[in-house]
């Protein structure tokens, strides 16, 4: 069976602390740059998808051209026959 000496335990703990603080510093320096890059990419994709969206479904219109679009009339019939009316009385 292998026994760890005190110096080996201290060495492992120091290596773990060095890795922890090293990653912490790297993330502090390069984290904002990475975040800016990711947000810029997402913003470009959002802008492209927003520019491609056309609610009328028609082709792109020339600048200055005016169109009036009317909403289709949806006539809903109300259903008054929902159920029976039951009159309840209080019992003392």
Give the pLDDT score at 2. 78
- Torsional class of 57: left (φ above 0), alpha (ψ -120 to 50), beta (otherwise): left
Q: What is the pLDDT of residue 88?
A: 82
Q: What is the CA radius of gyration of the chain?
A: 34
Q: What is the DSSP string of 6-44?
A: HHHHHHHHHHHHHHHHHHHHHHHHHHHHHHHHHHHHHHH
C-alpha 39/C-alpha 34 separation (Å) is 9
Summarised one tens digit per residue, pLDDT across range 39-81 is 999 999 998 888 776 665 556 667 888 878 888 777 766 666 6
By the 8 A CB rule, do 50 and 56 touch?
no
Average pLDDT of the chain, as a whole number:
83
What are the boundaries of each domain within the chain?
1-46
């Amino acid at each position: 069976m292998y026994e760890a000496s005190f110096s080996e335990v201290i060495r492992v703990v120091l290596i773990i602390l060095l890795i922890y603080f090293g990653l912490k510093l790297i993330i502090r320096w390069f984290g904002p740059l990475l975040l800016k890059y990711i947000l810029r990419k997402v913003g470009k994709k959002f802008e492209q998808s927003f520019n491609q969206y056309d609610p009328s479904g028609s082709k792109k219109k020339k600048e200055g051209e005016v169109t009036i679009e009317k909403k289709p009339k949806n006539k809903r019939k109300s259903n008054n026959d929902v159920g029976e009316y039951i009159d309840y009385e209080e019992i003392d």
